[in-house]
Amino acid sequence: MTIEQTIKKYAPLLKEVTHIPQKEVEILLLFILDKNPIWLHLNYKQECTCETELAKLIKKRATDFPLEYLTSRASFYGESFIVKENVLIPRPETELLVERAELILKDIKNPKVLEIGVGSGIISVILAKLIPNIQIIAVDINDNAINLAKLNAKKFDVEHQITFIKSDLFENVPDQHFDMCISNPPYIQNDFKLPRNVKFEPSNALFGGHEGDELLKDIIDNTVKNKIKFLCCEMGFDQKNSLNKYIAKFNHTKLDFYKDYEKLDRGFVVEFKHE
Ligand code: GLN
């Protein structure tokens, strides 16, 4: 069977899990063959040599298992990151958080940043690429995340700018000066029924407590306690009111909420005023 026929044969099996079934078969095929889309274009009529392997991946993908875990890759900020099971898959809206942080950091000389919940490393790695003189401490409670983030830091050659520490939120954060804390923490309500595909991702990267915003509030408390001036966080689309009220308790000179690509409330940037 040719490559073209093979793609046509398997695409219908993914109809229930994606709106781009043919494209996904192509991605999996190229992943197996380690080729790029131009190669595919030129070789449609060639014999397909990897049908057994492809069939296996398609079967797994048809259970809603994420494509990114199958290919160990996800794109973020125009770059291809390594991803692995047990670590959250990067989401495009987190690019907006990085953009907000960059706007502030580019005006600070030798900025010191703390990232809470580094996951795959996307935020810290892109910030390190964008701001060459930055120094980042990046923490996560999950060993798999720390190891993966280290791999990505190495891939993008920013290892010298990031120190990784295993820590539950601020628990093991060293007592030093930071200009900014940044986080895309778990913020989903504990009893929220996740879509089938998201169930394959680690729950300690997703659930933020009974209300959902408990960890965000903890991060706000600790940012203030540690006298960190800027805090940039992603949040749930329905958490603006409660976080707005919460932040009002603390002295601050600026608070901006921002929306994601779907025009849903998705995060905030606050500038605290410390005594
Ligand atoms: N910082 C990582 C990301 O934004 C991980 C976030 C998390 O695990 N909640 O993807």
Ligand 1 mean position to 140 CA, how many Å?
9
In a domain, 71, yes or no: no
The pLDDT assigned to 13 comes to 98
User: Which CATH number do you get for residue 250?
Assistant: 3.40.50.150
For residue 274, what pLDDT is reported? 82
* Residues 129, 50 share a domain: no
Same domain, 106 and 215: yes
Residue of 95, 92, 93, 128 lying closest to 112 (CA atoms): 128
Work out the average pLDDT over 45-51.
Answer: 96
- The reported pLDDT for the residue numbered 82 is 98
**Residue closest by Cα to atom 1 of ligand 1:** 118
Residue 47: is its pLDDT beyond 80?
yes
Domain match, 43 and 127 both: no
Nearest CA to ligand 1 atom 4: 184
| Binding-site residues, ligand 1, Cβ < 6 A | 88, 90, 94, 117-120, 122-123, 184-186, 205
d(CA 13, CA 22) in angstroms, rounded, equals 10
Does the residue 52 lie in any domain? Answer: yes
The helix, strand and coil proportions of the chain, stated in percent and rounded to the nearest 5, come to: 40, 20, 40
Q: pLDDT tens digits for 118-143?
A: 999 999 999 999 999 999 999 999 99
Give a yes or no: residue 68 inside a domain. no
One domain, residues 50 and 154: no
pLDDT band with cut points at 50, 70 and 90 for residue 1: very high
The domain in which residue 216 lies consists of 90-272
Number of domains in the chain: 2
Tell me the C-alpha distance between 35 and 29, whole Å.
Answer: 9
Asked which of 63, 79, 111 is the last residue of a domain, the reply is 63
* pLDDT tens, residue by residue, 53-110: 999 999 999 999 999 999 999 999 999 999 999 999 999 999 999 999 999 999 999 9
Give domain status of residue 75, yes or no: no
242 within a domain of the structure (yes/no):
yes
Rounded Cα–Cα distance for residues 271 and 170 (Å): 19
pLDDT digits (tens, 9 = 90+) for 179-212: 999 999 999 999 999 999 999 999 999 999 999 9
Largest CA distance in the chain: 72
With respect to residue 235, please indicate whether it lies within any of the assigned structural domains.
yes
Q: Are residues 262 and 129 in the same domain?
A: yes
| Of the residues 48, 63, 78, the one at which a domain ends | 63
Report how many helices (DSSP H) and strands (DSSP E) the chain contains, helices first: 10, 11
For the segment 147-181, what is each residue's pLDDT rounded down to a tens digit?
999 999 999 999 999 999 999 999 999 999 999 99
Residue at 220: amino acid letter: I
- Is residue 263 in some structural domain? yes
72 inside domain:
no
What is the whole-number distance in angstroms between the Cα of residue 252 and the centre of ligand 1? Answer: 26
SS (H, E, C) 188-224: EECCCCCCCCHHHCCHHHCEEECCCCHHHHHHHHHHH
- Please check whether residues 130 and 237 belong to one and the same domain: yes
* Among 66, 70, 71, CA closest to 91: 66
pTM of the model: 0.95
**Are 143 and 42 in a shared domain?**
no
Task: For the chain, give the percent of residues with pLDDT over 70.
Answer: 100
Per-residue pLDDT of 5-19, as tens digits, reads 999 999 999 999 999
Answer with the one of 25, 47, 63 that is the final residue of a domain. 63
For strand 180-183 and strand 230-234, is the pairing parallel, antiparallel, or unpaired? parallel
Residue 275 has a pLDDT of 76
Beta carbons within 10 angstroms of residue 107's beta carbon: 7
Mean pLDDT over 239-251 rounds to 98
Predicted pLDDT at 68: 98
Q: Residue for token digits 């280290």? A: 150
Q: List Cβ neighbours of 9 (8 Å cut-off, separation of 6 or more).
A: 1
Contact 272, 240 (CB under 8 A): no
**Residue appearing with tokens 């601020």:** 170
